[in-house]
Structure 1
């Protein structure tokens, strides 16, 4: 199974881990999902912030 990664430094989607771990997000199961990595990260951050606010 191919894994896809999103390189935060270059904005490029990579097939397999090609760059430094600190520079990439993943793995994702598809190239399309990896392309959405910045949006996915924002959505997760919003959910975590909402969860934290609800727990206060």
Structure 2
């Protein structure tokens, strides 16, 4: 549930919704686009948790 909230989502969600939101947030927070590396790492960790099925 915490991983979903880091992506700004609430259950129930589909895998496609998770992937789409992750991609949007990565584009916003990527250091090459002026984002914050720590936020990007948090997104990557959240996505890793979601990929393992919680």
Same fold (TM over 0.5): no
**Which has the higher relative contact order, 1 or 2, with Cα contacts under 8 A spaced 6 or more apart?**
2
TM range (shorter): 0.3 to 0.5
State which structure, 1 or 2, has the greater radius of gyration over its C-alpha atoms: 1
Using the size of structure 1 for normalisation, the TM-score is 0.34
